[in-house]
Amino acid sequence: MVGVLVAEKENRKERKMYWDAPVDITLEGWMEILRDEKVTKEKDLEILDLYYRTADYSIRPEIAAMRLGWKKEAIAVTRPISDFSKRVVAKTGITPPDREGGGSWWWHVPFMGHYKHEPENRFYYFLRPELAVAYKLVFCE
């Protein structure tokens, strides 16, 4: 029986490789959020800028933390992302993506995610396309 449960757990892991639940924020909505200093703090902008400047807007949270010169742990980035997401939800009234076991995926408000198996089988966050375009329009033009 234990072997069956382990196999089921492994199958669930294999099926869920890409997190792309929609959030109801338009390009214009993201632009407004980025301009609102009550919602988007300096630390949020540091994180978003780093992701924006990667080749595919994608990096592992722990690598992002190291590149930003913060603690070399994912939580150094994931906690501020969660806080940012909660402010975004409070401002917009959107419903954040649901966790399978209950609760919310706060990181999933500004990011989508995926596993890259080669070479290290790690989880990467990447900016939502509308957010990446909004960032470019607000800060790079």
Residue 3: its pLDDT value, please? Answer: 37
Inter-CA distances, 21 with 14, 72, 107, 123, 133, Å: 17, 28, 11, 16, 18
- Per-residue pLDDT tens over the stretch 81-99: 999 999 999 999 999 999 8
Residues 131 and 127: their CA atoms lie apart, in Å, by: 6
If one counts every other C-beta atom within 10 angstroms of the C-beta of residue 88, the result is 24
Indicate the pLDDT class of residue 27, thresholds 50, 70 and 90.
Answer: very high
Prediction pTM value:
0.85
pLDDT at 40: 98
